[in-house]
DNA sequence: TAGAATAAAAAGGATGGACTTAAAATGACA
DNA sequence: TGTCATTTTAAGTCCATCCTTTTTATTCTA
């Protein structure tokens, strides 16, 4: 596993390749290389069973590919915590150095660093730190009604009720999308959410109880 | 400057290439590569003016080569201090991880780490940490008579007197060699030194005053 | 001081990673 | 169903790293 391969895996992950197929073109643009180079790297990673491939559609990470991506992100984020918390880096400075260090860190080093930092849960950007084994920590899910005004969250689970799902679709609320709670009506208890595209959605209190969410970093 | 080149430079340095010529064969053995590969790397580093070359004798570091070696060693040793002091590494564990990290450390990172560690002077093995600019810290020199029993030191300077130099040669005391002070005679004040090859040398007190030494790590 | 032993340089490859361009194959969609 | 965007394949460049073998030079020693 070379730094290059690691970065390739990471790029797939960051484009969403843990659950959807990422096209050749997207990757080529993200990495600033030609599409042909992407194909070439794909064949290498395919051999190692780190990605799965749908011809002419693109690639996504296999379970072991996801594991590697998460372990790399774990290293990256633990370093970020160290740089920010112990070395006084500004939050916008941490990324570059963490990007170098993540490829030069033994497991032992990362675990000791993790202990030294008191096992942080989030990096300075609010990103969650994956587990040692490459899995993602159990993320708590709780009703949208428990969110405080101004907080950012992601929709994790919704009640499997046809009418309710239609209601959500009509409102434009989608699973795994992120929103910010901007207001709660004092009388009706209806919630005003702002989505990533800055549109505002008003949700009734009854619906809010059935939407499970989790905190998320603002980025 | 690739990690490979850096390690090559470091190997030369560690074999003593800062002041004497290191043969092709020595380097080949130290790096476990063929002598021809050493020659090849030599030509590359020669182009960059990092080493100087005496045909059929070997190579030594140029001033800029030494600078690079020292800066690398600075990185290495600062990391070692961090691993040992903050992460609880045992002194024999630090080397491997420091060897990886030294190649993935920006100058900014090293300087902040250095501050975080309160600007240490020695690494866990007792090795001195070079300055930021790649120079070696002014090492103090003082008479051998100031050394306490049991301490390790290196001979830094000796009086330029013919008889005295002959005396030293006869005793087997050499500049830049390391010794341990094992005993001081209570009556004569003569000093018993042990050299690296475990031979013992007895030095008169008058001579000891004219031998300037500095502390050194036991390794 | 003339070999013999040894070391270095030169020559010629081999490999693998990371890129590219150009042409052929494919899929999507109007 | 034909056009167009995208993907794949093919072919090849460049560079770093390593190798072995064959001179060539030096050094050691008898």
Q: How many beta carbons lie within 10 A of that of residue B122, not counting itself? A: 15
Distance CA B95, CA B83 (A): 9
Whether A201 CB is under 7 Å from strand D: no
Rounded to a whole number of angstroms, the distance from the CA of A153 to the nearest CA of chain B is 33
Non-local CB neighbours of B71 within 8 Å, separated by 6+ positions: B130, B132, B134
B87-143 confidence digits (pLDDT tens): 999 878 899 999 999 999 999 999 999 999 999 988 887 688 999 998 888 777 889
Nearest CA distance, A112 vs chain B (angstrom): 6
Choose the closest CB to B87 out of A97, A100, A113. A113
Round to whole Å and give the CA distance between A39 and A19: 20
Residue with the two structure tokens 């170098």: A100
- SS3 state of residue A183: strand
- Residues in chain A closer than 8 A to B115 (CB atoms): 87
Does A1 lie at the interface with B, CB-CB under 8 angstroms? no
pTM of the model: 0.78
Q: Does B108 touch chain A (CB under 8 A)?
A: yes
Q: Which of residues 116-135 of A touch B (CB under 8 A)?
A: 116
Residue that is written with structure tokens 């992950």 in the block? A13
User: Model confidence at B5, in pLDDT bands (50, 70, 90)?
Assistant: very high
Residue A53 CB lies within 7 Å of the nucleic strand D: yes
Domains of chain A (ranges, CATH numbers): 3-61 (1.10.10.10), 142-215 (2.30.30.90)
Tokens in use for A183? 């207001």
A59 touches chain B (CB under 8 A): no
Kindly state the average pLDDT of the residues B179-193: 93
Query: In what side-by-side order are the strands of the sheet with B178-184?
Result: B142-143, B211-215, B152-158, B178-184, B191-195, B200-203
Per the structure, the residue whose CA is closest to nucleotide C8 at C1' is B56
Tell me the percentage of chain A whose pLDDT exceeds 70: 98
Sequence-distant contacts of A131-136: CB under 8 A, at least 24 apart: A131/A70, A131/A74, A132/A71, A132/A74, A132/A107, A133/A67, A134/A66, A134/A67, A134/A68, A134/A69, A134/A70, A134/A71, A134/A74, A135/A67, A135/A70, A136/A70
Q: What percent of chain A has pLDDT over 90?
A: 70
pLDDT, residue B218, reads 59
Indicate if the pLDDT at residue A133 is higher than 80.
Answer: yes
- Is residue B18 less than 8 Å (CB to CB) from chain A? no
For residue range B38-58, what is the model confidence (pLDDT) as tens digits? 999 999 999 999 999 998 899
Q: How far is A104 from chain B (nearest CA, A)?
A: 5
Residue in B83, B97, B112 nearest the CB of A87: B112
List CB contacts (< 8 A) between B97 and chain A: 105-106, 108-109
Return the pLDDT at B191.
96
Residue A34 near residue A46, CB atoms below 8 Å: no
Residues B146-166 have a mean pLDDT of 85
CA A21 to C1' C29, whole Å: 20
């Amino acid at each position: 596993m070379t730094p290059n391969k690691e970065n390739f895996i990471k790029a797939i992950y960051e484009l969403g390749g843990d659950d959807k197929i990422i096209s050749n073109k997207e990757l080529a643009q993200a990495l600033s290389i030609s599409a042909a180079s992407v194909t070439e790297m794909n064949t290498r990673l395919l051999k190692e069973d780190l990605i799965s491939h749908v011809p002419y559609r693109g690639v996504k990470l296999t379970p072991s590919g996801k594991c590697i991506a998460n372990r790399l992100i774990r290293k990256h984020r633990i370093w970020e915590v160290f740089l920010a918390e112990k070395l006084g880096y500004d939050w916008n400075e941490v990324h570059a150095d963490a990007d170098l260090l993540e490829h030069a860190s033994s497991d032992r080093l990362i675990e000791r660093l993790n202990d030294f930092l008191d096992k942080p849960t989030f990096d300075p950007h609010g990103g969650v730190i994956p587990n040692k084994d490459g899995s993602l920590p159990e993320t708590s899910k709780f009703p949208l009604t428990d969110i405080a005004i101004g907080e950012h969250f992601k929709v994790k689970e919704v009640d499997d009720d046809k009418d309710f799902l239609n209601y959500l679709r009509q409102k434009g609320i989608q699973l795994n999308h992120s929103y910010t709670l901007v207001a709660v009506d004092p009388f009706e208890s209806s919630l005003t959410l702002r989505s990533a595209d800055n549109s505002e959605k008003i949700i009734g209190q009854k619906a809010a109880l059935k939407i499970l969410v989790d905190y998320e970093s603002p980025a």
